[in-house]
A and B are shown apart, each in its own frame.
Chain A
Amino acid sequence: MHLVIIGNGITGVTTARYVRKATDWDITIISSETEYFFSRTALMYIYMGHMEYEHTKPYEDHFWEKNDLNLICDHVMDINVEDRELDLREGESVSYDKLVLATGSQPNKFGWPGQDLDGVQGLYSYQDLQLMEENTKNIDRAVIVGGGLIGIEVAEMLHTRDIPVTFLVRESNYWDNALPVDEAKMINEEIRRHHIDLRLETNLEKILPDDNGRVRAVVTQEGTQIDCQFVALTPGVHPNLELVKSGPVETDRGILVNRHFETNIDDIYAAGDCAEFKEVPDGDPSIEQLWYTGRLQGECLARNLCGERKAYDRGIWFNSAKFMTIEWQTYGRVPPQLPDGCETFCWQHPDENLLLRINYKKSDRAVTGFNSFGMRLRHAVCEQWIDEGKTLEYVLEHLGEVNFDPEFCDQHESEIITYYNERYPDRQLELKQKRGLLGLFQFENQMTA
């Protein structure tokens, strides 16, 4: 049995690792991006000088040979479905018995005039990073278009080089299609605190070239012109369908798969950023483009490949990010608009960038989601509480258990309780435990009390 995986990102590599654990199949991973798997999420740290490319590899180079995972650094040009063969750009063709497509994403471009000029780019691949290094040399101003996670990362990257940045965001607040408005406003402030020229409700009209075909300025829909020598287009990503566009593999926005990652062609699977589920449970997106979902899908796909018929179910939702200096963790569902039947409890520190939001059901007060900024929460405890339907009041009284902040960190549980008690004078809560796990961290409690 020869399993071939196209794409050496988190999904492809996770699939390979789990199949390797369960079988002795021949496994080949093909990628033209980099020779070895690296962490895409760490690209920004290379630019900022925190790390070098070498450091972003989750496994040492000898890992692959040791685990008998065959790596091919080449670009797949075509899939020959009949002969089960892949044409490569450089090397000889490769035949497969089972094929996994994990080709990832590409940056979105919405047909703006000038979007292909020199000095205009997205940031997704290792090559994009190298290009950005070149494109941002000796420039006076950069413009970022699109207020999502990549946009704020690019802003932070440029900030470390002391490059003035104008950040165009279409929405009323930064990323407010994913964050509730209090949170989004807090991040607005954080961006401005870094001296980044954030322009909300501003749309890109076109990008203007200079005589050499390089970007010279951008023009907004309001007609203002902003001189710049670099434009980062960061309005999200879409599935990379280059390889399958013309073939028999069925696609829509992504490569269409069922909950077992099977495409319409036998023995061809797709997972990760490039896959689109034909059916999804209510409220879930059909395309998932996160590191975590890539890893989960990879593991689930591996189980299906190895004969276990296991439908993908990602369990209780979680995610995280870091907005400049503010860490964000979320567990369960905290959509920007409060869902029907839900209420929300939101505490915000008066001076510091700390915020804790807990959504809960109106009916039985069972918690449905956590949004935490500047405070770290224990994943397993949040998941357990959501799973068991613990009430908001139970959760608040036991906040110590969920606290994952470093030792000696200021704790705010009692302030949060006080805030609750002021809002609901008829329900006086009491903090059961300041901190620590299941009451067992006696020594740590003494030390930090």
Chain B
Amino acid sequence: MSDQKLNKVINEIKDDTNPSSKGLYIIRYTGLALFVMGLLLFTYVMFMGPFELSKSSIEDSISNKQHRQAIAQQTTTMQQQSYTTVFSFIANLKPAIEEANETLDDGDRINDYKQGVYRLNIAKQASTGIIDSYSMLYFWLSIGLGCLGAIIFFLPKIWLRLPGIDNDHIYHNSAMSLGTIGWATGLYFIAFYVFIYWYPEYAVNWIKMVDPISMAIKGQPAGQWFLYGLLYTLAIVVMGVRMFIKYRHSKYHLVRTSSVMFFQTAFAFIIPELLVAFNKPYYDFKNIWPLDYDFFFDWQINTFVNSGSLGMFMLMWGIALTVVVVPVLTYFYGKRWYCSWVCGCGGLAETFGDPYRQLSDNSKSAWKLERWSVHSVLVLVTIMTIGVLYTYFTGSSSLLGIDTYNLRSWYGFLIGAAFAGVIGVGTYPILGNRPWCRFGCPLAAYLGLIQRFKSRFRITTNGGQCISCGNCSTYCEMGIDVRWYAQRGQNIVRSSCVGCGVCSSVCPRGVLKLENGPEEGRFNEPKAFTVHEDGVTVNGGIET
């Protein structure tokens, strides 16, 4: 081939590391732009006004007559004003309700919880701007556009990269390696959780956007939990699509991702809402005590008891899950059957959280903290539940000098909301995608004890093939130093392993395999080789 001709060939190849890549990147960045636009609009919706208080909005929001009259009286000046944002509106409404409370007799006082409900309901009624008339349009332009943009962003990867592990540039990407975008994302998530859990009255415009969907599903307007449930489910579904693309070479990941998408959509979102629509108790059939920490609360038990045979079934099913299903399935399959196949928290971690899995700290000190922390929560939830049941059956609210009501409200605040929500999900971009599951989830601790001491599950190490590269440890979302075991030829039997299977996928040398095998030989000799008289023998985690 002549030089001239050859150079022509090269010039043709030059722009063509991948023939169609340019167009695909354009599509990708278009998707990203749409996502950012959706996100910006979503954020902006929170600040939209005006807020105008009318008599009827107070009447629609409060059923208690005394409360209604007192609050109506205290808010007369507010009724002549228009507020530009929810923040200035609440700033006036909150003291007005407090003052109204002062005028009431002691027996009629509005408790803190009720005050919050009133603020939320009144603010929702008072948001009379464009969001009120076009809530569905805003839903599609913010949340809808965001989801669409994300999917458009993910799809071109099908053609840009061949099937196989693609962790390229994760540590060059600010969003996924504790860069500015990563920290900003974390703060955004945390702020979102703080609003949803403790200040939902500021999120009324968001709630309004999903009202039409709530009406369609259960015939009732949305509250903050409907909004949260919907966003949570969308996050799992949209990021589940990303998982399908990223791990399309691995059936294990395709199947388990489908599983968490299904359980979230059907069991955690649609079925409970439909139950409410049919006037049955709200119930997530796959939520298990002690993760479902209020399962034995008096109001919950009363709801079950008063809901006929379905209620009794729910009560018995819930108890059976904890007492029978968890030990049996965990014996055969390890805790993964729940944590990375069924659980809602796990579902979010495995999909929405997947881009952050490498941020989980795999140091020994983190492991130490984890063991203390997660088992403490298990002890705490057990004490709390015993206290609650004690009170339920005896009517006494004090057990060994502990006020059981205080205990449960503190548990709900510190563990149920702050730990599971704000820290557990809000810090994904900072602490990795399973901070709650590692450090806080009492059910994970319970499953983990069974997995560690009485289970057939382990990750088998393939003889001496480990090259200590560290991909497994880096991409372990539970912060297990998988390499520590693999390089010594030792099977990995750890209580925290949720069996996501990513260590096995990222291993370039085929060293790791998740297995349900015989209990015998599960804890093998921690040594890749045995040098003896006849040479070297490899220990492969099997009986010989």
User: Could you tell me which A residues sit within 8 Å of B by CB distance?
Assistant: 10, 39, 41-42, 45-46, 48-52, 55-58, 60, 62, 140-141, 159-160, 162-166, 193-195, 197, 223-227, 291-292, 295-296, 299-300, 303, 310, 313-316, 318, 320-322, 324-325, 327, 329, 376-381, 383-384, 404-410, 437-438, 440-441, 443-444
Q: Which residues of B contact A50 (CB under 8 A)?
A: 167-168, 170-171, 471, 474, 506
Q: Which residues of B contact A322 (CB under 8 A)?
A: 508-509
Total contacting residues, chain B, CB less than 8 A: 78
Q: CB within 8 Å of A: which of B143-184? A: 162-165, 167-173, 177
B363 at interface by CB-CB < 8 Å: yes
Q: Are B517 and A407 in contact, with the CB atoms below 8 A? A: no
Question: A166, A194, A329: which contacts B509 (Cβ < 8 A)?
Answer: A329
Q: Which residues of B contact A62 (CB under 8 A)?
A: 364
Q: Are A45 and B471 in contact, with the CB atoms below 8 A? A: yes
Q: Which residues of A contact B544 (CB under 8 A)?
A: 380, 384
Q: Are B168 and A318 in contact, with the CB atoms below 8 A? A: no
Residue of A nearest to B520 (CB): A440
Residues A197 and B540 in contact in the complex (CB < 8 Å), given A49-B173, A376-B513, A379-B462 = no
Q: Which residues of A contact B173 (CB under 8 A)?
A: 49
Q: Which residues of B contact A406 (CB under 8 A)?
A: 250-252, 501, 504-505, 513-514
Q: Are B531 and A404 in contact, with the CB atoms below 8 A? A: no
What is the CB-to-nearest-CB distance from A4 to chain B, in angstroms, rounded to a whole number?
23
Q: 13 other contacts beyond A49-B172, A164-B15, A405-B513, with CB at 8 A cut-off? A: A41-B468, A50-B168, A51-B474, A58-B470, A141-B10, A164-B13, A195-B13, A320-B510, A324-B164, A327-B508, A380-B463, A407-B252, A441-B517
Q: Are B529 and A296 in contact, with the CB atoms below 8 A? A: yes
Residue of A nearest to B481 (CB): A60
Q: How far is the CA of A170 from the CA of B262 in the complex (A)?
A: 53
Q: Are B542 and A141 in contact, with the CB atoms below 8 A? A: no
Question: B162, B169, B363: which contacts A160 (Cβ < 8 A)?
Answer: B169
Q: Are A166 and B10 in contact, with the CB atoms below 8 A? A: yes
Residues A381 and B540 in contact in the complex (CB < 8 Å), given A163-B17, A164-B14, A406-B250 = yes
Closest 9 CB pairs of A and B: A380-B540, A379-B463, A315-B536, A376-B510, A325-B164, A42-B469, A408-B251, A49-B169, A315-B535
Q: Which residues of A contact B404 (CB under 8 A)?
A: none
Kindly count the residue-residue contacts between A and B in the assembled complex, taking CB atoms under 8 Å apart.
218
Q: Which residues of A contact B484 (CB under 8 A)?
A: 58
Q: Are A315 and B462 in contact, with the CB atoms below 8 A? A: no
- What are 9 A-B pairs at a CB distance below 8 A? A49-B173, A52-B171, A327-B508, A379-B464, A383-B538, A405-B513, A409-B250, A409-B251, A443-B332
Q: Are A404 and B510 in contact, with the CB atoms below 8 A? A: yes
B130 at interface by CB-CB < 8 Å: no
Question: B17, B528, B537: which contacts A195 (Cβ < 8 A)?
Answer: B17
Residue of B nearest to A375 (CB): B510
Q: Are A314 and B252 in contact, with the CB atoms below 8 A? A: no
Q: Are B536 and A42 in contact, with the CB atoms below 8 A? A: no
What is the CB-to-nearest-CB distance from A280 to chain B, in angstroms, rounded to a whole number?
14
Question: A49, A314, A404, A440: which contacts B462 (Cβ < 8 A)?
Answer: A404
Q: How far is the CA of A316 from the CA of B473 in the complex (A)?
A: 28
What is the CB-to-nearest-CB distance from A373 to chain B, in angstroms, rounded to a whole number?
11
Q: Which residues of A contact B462 (CB under 8 A)?
A: 376, 378-379, 404
Q: Are B468 and A39 in contact, with the CB atoms below 8 A? A: yes
Q: Which residues of A contact B541 (CB under 8 A)?
A: 380
Question: A51, A160, A310, A405: which contacts B531 (Cβ < 8 A)?
Answer: A310
What is the CB-to-nearest-CB distance from A282 to chain B, in angstroms, rounded to a whole number?
15
Q: Are B463 and A408 in contact, with the CB atoms below 8 A? A: no
Residues A51 and B468 in contact in the complex (CB < 8 Å), given A164-B16, A327-B509 = no
Q: Which residues of A contact B535 (CB under 8 A)?
A: 313-316
Q: Which residues of A contact B358 (CB under 8 A)?
A: 51
Q: How far is the CA of A408 from the CA of B460 in the complex (A)?
A: 16
Q: How far is the CA of A58 from the CA of B164 in the complex (A)?
A: 25
Q: How far is the CA of A49 from the CA of B250 in the complex (A)?
A: 22
What is the CB-to-nearest-CB distance from B244 to chain A, in angstroms, rounded to a whole number?
14
Q: Are A193 and B162 in contact, with the CB atoms below 8 A? A: yes
Q: Are B529 and A39 in contact, with the CB atoms below 8 A? A: no
Q: How far is the CA of A402 from the CA of B16 in the complex (A)?
A: 41
Q: Which residues of A contact B516 (CB under 8 A)?
A: 441, 443-444
Q: Are A55 and B474 in contact, with the CB atoms below 8 A? A: yes
Q: Which residues of A contact B191 (CB under 8 A)?
A: none
Residue of B nearest to A141 (CB): B14
Q: How far is the CA of A197 from the CA of B412 in the complex (A)?
A: 61
Residue of B nearest to A63 (CB): B364
Question: A51, A299, A438: which contacts B470 (Cβ < 8 A)?
Answer: A51
Q: Are B1 and A39 in contact, with the CB atoms below 8 A? A: no
Q: How far is the CA of A291 from the CA of B7 in the complex (A)?
A: 40
What is the CB-to-nearest-CB distance from A315 to chain B, in angstroms, rounded to a whole number?
3
Question: B7, B252, B470, B514: which contacts A55 (Cβ < 8 A)?
Answer: B470
Q: Are B1 and A224 in contact, with the CB atoms below 8 A? A: yes
Could you mark each residue 448-476 of chain B with 1 if its beta carbon is under 8 Å from any beta carbon of chain A, else 0? Answer: 00000000100010111101111101100
What is the CB-to-nearest-CB distance from B336 to chain A, in angstroms, rounded to a whole number?
10
Q: Which residues of A contact B504 (CB under 8 A)?
A: 406
B357 at interface by CB-CB < 8 Å: no
Q: Are B531 and A303 in contact, with the CB atoms below 8 A? A: yes
B105 at interface by CB-CB < 8 Å: no
Q: How far is the CA of A383 from the CA of B535 in the complex (A)?
A: 12
Q: Which residues of A contact B483 (CB under 8 A)?
A: 58
Residues A48 and B542 in contact in the complex (CB < 8 Å), given A296-B536, A327-B508, A380-B463 = no
Q: Which residues of B contact A321 (CB under 8 A)?
A: 509
B515 at interface by CB-CB < 8 Å: yes
Residue of A nearest to B533 (CB): A310
Q: How far is the CA of A313 from the CA of B531 in the complex (A)?
A: 9
Question: A46, A165, A299, A329: which contacts B510 (Cβ < 8 A)?
Answer: A329
Could you mark each residue 493-518 of chain B with 1 if its beta carbon is under 8 Å from any beta carbon of chain A, else 0? Answer: 00000000100111011100111111
Q: How far is the CA of A377 from the CA of B463 in the complex (A)?
A: 10
Q: Are B168 and A49 in contact, with the CB atoms below 8 A? A: yes
Question: A41, A141, A162, A315: which contacts B537 (Cβ < 8 A)?
Answer: A315
Q: Are B10 and A379 in contact, with the CB atoms below 8 A? A: no
B322 at interface by CB-CB < 8 Å: no
B255 at interface by CB-CB < 8 Å: yes
B216 at interface by CB-CB < 8 Å: no
Q: Are B363 and A60 in contact, with the CB atoms below 8 A? A: yes
Q: Which residues of B contact A384 (CB under 8 A)?
A: 544
Q: Which residues of A contact B17 (CB under 8 A)?
A: 159, 162-165, 195
Q: How far is the CA of A448 from the CA of B250 in the complex (A)?
A: 14
Q: Which residues of B contact A444 (CB under 8 A)?
A: 515-517
Central interface residue in A299, A329, A404, A438, by most chain B CB within 10 Å: A404
